[in-house]
Amino acid sequence: MHGAAGARGSAKASPRAGSAKPKVLVIEAMPPWKPPPPPMTRDGAAPPARPPVQITPAGWCKPGARAFHQKFGFGTVVAIEEDRVAVDFAMAGSKRLLARFLEPG
């Protein structure tokens, strides 16, 4: 056959068989994430803060009015709180939505 020095019956250990140390991947810890600094104007001062945008429901949106939503279909306005509208939909049940996602129905 192949003699005593065949690949399977070899008395020598292959260089991969246990004598080589496993490679260790060292991952250094990253510093914690910090938000970017606020934008500055040319003179180095921070820009004036903008007031929060208040989106109020349109004049048609009152309790008892019909409303339409792309996903939930037609419903009846039940209550209004700032920019959110509670609507009772025929097929989807009661939902609280932002007024901008409703259309008159």
Domain 66-104 is of which CATH architecture?
Roll (2.30)
Region 41-70: mean pLDDT is 77
Burial of 87 (0-12, 13-18, 19+ CB in 10 A): buried
7-11, 18-22, 74-78, 97-101, range with the lowest pLDDT:
7-11
Comparison of pLDDT for 59 and 69, the residue scoring more: 69
Tens of pLDDT, residue by residue over 68-78, are 999 999 999 99
pTM confidence score: 0.48
Provide the residue ranges of all domains of the chain, joining segments of one domain with +.
66-104
Give the list of residues 6+ apart from residue 79 with CB closer than 8 angstroms, or none. Answer: 63, 85, 86
Amino acid identity at 13? A
